[in-house]
Amino acid sequence: MGQGIKRTIAFLFFLLAGIVLGTVIARLCADVPFLSWLAYSMSVGLDTGSPLVLDLIVFKLAFGFTLTVNTAQIICIIIALVIYNKTCKGL
């Protein structure tokens, strides 16, 4: 594999690890009084409960997309990217 592909795979791994770890931390800390701020989240997008519908009589096409980000995810993504930069310099 080429150098660029290795770096891309490593970047995606660290990014995904930060997202998953941030989600787990936010869910665990949601009910802890002094750590509940880690679970604060915002959602952006087209609500999947009432999606944008394109009705062409023969078929219907529904568009919906929601992106939810919480504080713990942002912190974990930043940490993961710092670790990526420190560990993947030689790739």
Going residue by residue through the chain (91 aa), what tens digit of pLDDT does each one get? 677 888 999 999 999 999 999 999 999 999 998 999 999 999 988 777 777 888 898 998 888 888 999 999 999 999 999 999 999 876 7
> Which domain does 53 fall in, by range?
3-87
What total number of domains does the chain contain? Answer: 1
* pLDDT reported for residue 88: 85
* pLDDT reported for residue 65: 85
* pLDDT reported for residue 46: 76
CA dihedral 23, 29, 79, 7 (to 10 degrees): -20
* Angle value at C-alpha 45, between 68 and 15, nearest 5 degrees: 40
